[in-house]
Amino acid sequence: MTREVRRVRRVVAEHLAGAGVASPQRDVDELLAHVLGVPLGQVALVDELTPEQADAFHALATRRAAREPLQHLTGTATFRYVDLEVGPGVFVPRPETELLAGWAVERAQEVRDRTGEGAVVLDLCTGSGAIAASVAHEVPSARVHAVELDPAAYDFARRNLAGTGVDLREGDLASAADDLLGGVDVVVCNPPYVPLEAWESVTQEARDHDPHLALFSGDDGLDAIRVLVARAAVLLRPGGHLGFEHADVQGEAAPAVVVADGRWSDVADHRDLAGRARYTTARLAR
């Protein structure tokens, strides 16, 4: 890498840092890789940028400094072992949600190992299709269904799930998949969970660019979770598993919704790699 390219990387990273971008150097390299059409690991081998590449890179960096999501600029997001198309109109999947997806993968594998048959997995509020795609990819025997209400997000999910074998449906989590009632092994969901009053605490990228339908859920952020818990109780087989993400401040409130419903056992909350409360799991009582 020439001194000039190193200088450009440093200067632009400093600019992004000053704009409040959380991972400025990583974002610079992601944008460079995108413009150059090379894997991220090869950015350090770049000797020079053509004038056209330099112009394209600086234009994207300017948009990133304005806090447009990195994934909207590149058009893709990596989630576990799958690459997803994302952009305006769909919630950008977060790394912390990979833990919930991993939990769903493990439960589906357990069903396969125990019964010799593919688990029936239902991903509600699928958004880009990230969790459904991951389960289908990692547990090919699973029969995966996914539901999304928002038409724009549904269109992204349709493209991301094409060829995966996932049964994608457009619908509401409160009434979706009547044909699966009592026959699902795993219900997994990353629902909206941000309280309306917490508007200012949401990152600028999410607040200004993610669909609000995927973010906000009533005064306490638990409205969608309440609906999910009630719906999952009629979708699952006895002993079936429910897992859903929640805000880090809902580590007690979210499990309490499940307990209050009265139909669940083994209610537990789980932390992410940063030690923050992240998702709740439970089993439908037999």
Pair 47, 5: CB distance under 8 Å? yes
The token pair that represents 278 in the structure block? 């992240």
- Is 148 known as a binding-site position? yes
244-275 pLDDT, tens digit each: 999 888 999 999 999 999 999 999 999 999 99
Count of residues in the chain: 286
Residue 20 belongs to domain spanning:
3-66
Q: What does the pLDDT look like over 205-228, one tens digit per residue?
A: 767 667 776 766 777 889 999 999
Mean pLDDT of the chain: 92
Pair 21, 128 in one domain: no
| 103 plus 23 within the same structural domain | no
Based on the domain organization, do 144 and 44 belong to the same domain? no
Please give the pLDDT value at position 199.
57
Q: What is the pLDDT of residue 237?
A: 97
191 is in an annotated binding site: yes
Residue 7 has pLDDT above 90, yes or no: no
Give domain status of residue 35, yes or no.
yes
What pLDDT score was predicted for residue 194? 77
Residue 202: its pLDDT value, please?
63
CATH number at residue 113: 3.40.50.150
- Enter the tokens of residue 115: 């019964």
Asked if residue 151 and residue 17 are part of one domain, the reply reads no
Number of structural domains found in the chain: 2
**Among 81, 52, 142, CA closest to 106:** 142
Q: Alpha-carbon torsion 209, 214, 216, 220, what sign?
A: negative
Same domain? 62 vs 97: no
Is residue 193 a known part of a binding site? yes
Q: Is residue 181 exposed (0-12), middle (13-18) or buried (19+ Cβ within 10 Å)?
A: exposed
Q: Is residue 74 part of a domain?
A: no
Could you tell me if 61 and 177 lie in one domain? no
Answer yes or no: is 51 a known binding residue. no
Same domain (yes/no): 31, 110: no
pTM of structure: 0.90
The dihedral through the CA atoms of 85, 91, 95, 99 has a sign that is negative
Contact 166, 145 (CB under 8 A): yes
